[in-house]
Chains A and B, each alone.
Chain A
Amino acid sequence: MEELIKYLPLLIPYAAIELGLLAAALIHIFTHKTYRKGNRALWVILSFVQIIGPVLYFAIGRNDE
């Protein structure tokens, strides 16, 4: 555990980008009403899947309008 705290400054950027991707997906999901595939509930759940979740949403779920 001490090791983890010692290296915290190195872990923060990782967490920040991880959360950034999640936030980007969630913001897009909640500011858009229609999706190319699926519905809001599905995408909200899926966007929590690490790394692949947001990729899937922006590739398949995101609608242009």
Chain B
Amino acid sequence: MSAYLAFTKKELIESVRTYKLLVLLGVFLLLGMMSPLFAKFMPEILKSVDFGGMELTAPEPTAMDSWTQFFKNVGQIGLLALVIASAGIMANELSKGTLVNILTKGMKRHTVILSKLTVAALIWAASYMLCLAAAYGYTAYFWDMGELRHRFLAFFSPWLLGLFLIQLLILGGTLFKTFIGSLMLTGGVVVAMSLLNIIPKLQRYNPISLCGDNTALMTGVKDVSDFLPAAIICALLVVMLTAASVVAFDRKQM
């Protein structure tokens, strides 16, 4: 336990010194503010651009447009930034060999995986909560929010998807020991899940749909039963990938 705490602390300090924490907090705060601003000013921007005499009018934006933007931004640029910033999570240390010393001194290998997962999950949670708080504040300022149904599930789902991607990066880094290997595995899985998402029947089981139509859940167009299976499967996959990473790391020659 003390090894776990010590290594977790080291990971936290590392994330500060490598600017990872700062960059992710900045990026997600930006995305959080961007979504409502974009929804609010889109009609203005369309009006001010001259389309050669053609009149383009957009309907008066609502709070739901802001949330649609929010889930789109988090799901695309946000997760991309998270993946790029976290891709070196195992690979950086494995390629430099900085783990050899502490592992030969008796620290358990699963401690490394669990510590790294803990810190990455905490940083991701802090960034995402900052993003959500900014989006919530701006949206509440611009519009009457109305009733948001199932808001916990709707807002929690993207975080769970991000956690899944982080754990994929850890597994990729453990298996291939390189930054690119981590990215390739994660990218490959995301592409595969996106392709599977074309099949409507599979959507409610597919983790990738956790950051997509979340506004439909909040307006009541979709129901909890459309999201919960995917969330449960995603959580199970995180646990399974963690176990797989531990096993893979145990067998790896340093």
Contacts and interface: CB of A to CB of B under 8 A. Distances in A.
Interface of B: 18-20, 22-24, 26-27, 29-31, 33-34, 37, 40-41, 44, 48, 77, 80-81, 84-85, 87-88, 138, 141, 179
A7 B33 CA distance: 13
A3 B20 contact: no
Interface of B, secondary structure class, is: helix
A10 B138 contact: yes
Interface in A14-65: 14, 17-18, 20-21, 24, 28, 51-52, 54-56, 58-60, 62
Nearest to A14: B33
Contacts of A20: 26
B85 A59 contact: yes
A59 B30 contact: no
Interface residues on A, range: 20 to 34
B37 A51 contact: no
B141 A51 contact: no
Contacts of A58: 18-20, 23, 85
Contacts of A11: 37
Contact of B48 (A1, A56, A60): A1
